[in-house]
A and B are shown apart, each in its own frame.
Chain A
Amino acid sequence: MTAAVAPALKMQRRSLYPGWFYLPAAVIYSVLFLAPTFASLYFSLTRWTLFDATFIGLDNFAQFFREPFLIQGLVNTVIYAVITSGLKVVIGMMLAVMLTSQIMARGYLRSVIFFPVLVSTIGVGMTFTVLMHPTQGMINQALALFGIAGPGWLVDPKLALFSVALVDVWKGVGLATVIYIAGLVAIPKDYYEAARIDGATKLQNFFYVTLPLSRPATATVITLSFIGGLRTFDLIWAMTKGGPGFASDTVASVIYKQYQAGFYGLSTAGNVVLFILIAVLVVPLTMFLNRKQGHE
């Protein structure tokens, strides 16, 4: 009886999770994402007009690393990613601690901090461009009331990238906060009890219980915001278009500008550079963040 039923059940069990469930997703994903990614490895080595492609070897990449404004874009990208993810981690954690404490009006605070995450990036960029106008923008006018001469947020080449990064953090910190809240809420109360019995102060509580035990959340926030920062385009494009000059160009805006100019091979090379940059920076980062977790 069992012997007869077993193979029948086994056959049913196999087809219960049919392989063809993968098919539609696999087709769309491979054709529209994987295929072009592989194609880019070839086309980045050509001079391309979309109609014909002449093989030129590594010339595009040589160009990329020879032109100062292309290198600037590369440097800016890494700086931007580090600043935004760093700020989101720190501020996100602080806000999450505040929002999981006994503070009042928590509902209002959570909503107000999270809402910018849902709003259009272009809308946010345009709004802050007006707010950051050097003479007529509200930020500098408010500072003037206190007697402080506000800087040229988006027109000073030394400040432009940083100003856009600040707006990025304004918009994205809510997401980091929510992820942290989820992580904090998952920490068993026993740890805090034990710490309290040991006479720990609030600060010690934070550094010895909260911080270590929210490592998975920290890892998630760092990884997500770092990758996002490396690929950033929308906000830069809405606020400065990479200006003044090339001061706030990132690899993504460089890719777009080369595409606009019709240098399709060079643009694709930019994509490959970004791809390599992300792989080289993010993979070790992820391994580092997750390996430590295994040790705990």
Chain B
Amino acid sequence: MKHSRAAIAGGIAAIAATFVVFVIPFLFIILMAFKDKQQSALRDFSWPNGFHLFENLYEVIKTRNWMMITAFINSSLITVVSVTLLIVLAAMVGFVLARRKTKWNGLIEFLILAGLMIPPAVVPTIWLLQGLKLFGTLHGMILIQVAYNLPFSIILYRAFIATIPRELDEAAVIDGARPLDVFFRIILPLLWPVTVTNIVVQSVGIFNDFTNPLYYLPGNQNATVQLTLYNFQSQFSTAYNLLFTNILLITIPPLIVFMFFNRQIVAGMTAGAVKG
């Protein structure tokens, strides 16, 4: 009896505390998005005097020639293409790295680990991208995202591939499969749990990336969602309702990802941690 009373008291305390700390900031965002300009200027936690969400949304999306729409398209494009490339390339590397032990493996692993730690050298990269005519282009940005996120993905895949028995590969070979077939038809599908984790983590990361587009993708045609939000700060400096509507708008994609993949995220992390 005492045990459950303490548990209940502790539970209520935990729920209350997490509500104040973690939920109220999001409620604040939502409330501000419903207010009009004057009320939002008060910046307090009050109930909105009216339902202004739709007109706020319209204002935000219309700003600077519908820039939010361009931004969403660009960000989505970058995210989808980068993540696709990352999955295929990282799985390929992880596969060979896990299976084939050569004397180069040590060097390769070192280079991968370095990629996790070393900060990218931005100005030399800009100079390089300019030389390759990739600076300020979407495809340039995609290649950058792939390059910067390969290490994490490769490590995920390598750890997981170790759990797939070699016999499967060899059985497939005896059945007459070529290496590419073995990889795409047999191995890749088996990697699905890790792929899901990878998709979730990388999509969120790339969609929310602010620093890299800031350096490598200046300009309005290539506007990305984070950069647009940041640039609108001065535009909406006296219109907090619009600013928070914007923040609300860009919180929706991660929210969708979260609702769909909540379970897999924890499962993927657990799998990797246990095996790794």
Direct contact between A and B judged by beta carbons closer than 8 A? yes
Q: Are B251 and A119 in contact (CB under 8 A)?
A: yes
Residues of A at the B interface (CB closer than 8 Å) are 12-13, 15-19, 21-22, 24-26, 28-29, 31-37, 39-40, 43, 48, 50, 98, 102-105, 108-116, 118-124, 126-128, 130-131, 133, 136-138, 141-142, 170, 178-179, 181-183, 185-186, 216-217, 220, 227, 231, 233-234, 237-238, 252, 255-256, 259, 264, 267-268, 271-272, 274-275, 278-279, 282
Contact A121 B210 (CB under 8 A): yes
Smallest Cβ-Cβ distance to A115: which chain B residue: B258
Given contact pairs A32-B147, A120-B229, A120-B250, A40 touches B95 in the complex (Cβ within 8 A): no
- Chain B residue contacts of A231, Cβ below 8 A: 119
In B90-128, which residues have CB < 8 Å from any A CB? 90, 92-93, 95-96, 99-100, 108, 111, 115-128
Cα-based distance from A238 to B229 in the complex (angstroms): 10
Asked if residues B120 and A182 are in contact (CB atoms below 8 Å), the reply is no
A122 CA / B225 CA spacing, docked (Å): 10
A37 touching B121 by the CB < 8 A rule? yes
B residues neighboring A (CB under 8 Å): 7-8, 10-11, 14-15, 18-19, 21-23, 25-26, 28-29, 42-45, 89-90, 92-93, 95-96, 99-100, 108, 111, 115-128, 130, 143-144, 146-148, 150, 154, 169-170, 173, 179, 182-183, 204, 208, 210-211, 214-215, 225-226, 229-230, 233, 240, 243-244, 247, 250-251, 254-255, 257-258, 262, 265-266, 269-270, 272-274
Contact of B150 among A18, A28, A178, A279 (CB under 8 A): A28
Mostly helix, strand, loop or mixed at chain B's interface?
helix
Q: Is the interface of A mostly helix, strand, loop or mixed?
A: helix
B25 engages A131 (CB within 8 Å): yes
Q: Determine the chain A residues whose CB is within 8 A of the CB of B116 once the complex forms.
A: 227
* Among candidates B10, B22, B28, B43, residue contacting A113 with C-beta atoms closer than 8 Å: B22
Query: Is B273's CB under 8 angstroms from A118's CB?
Result: no
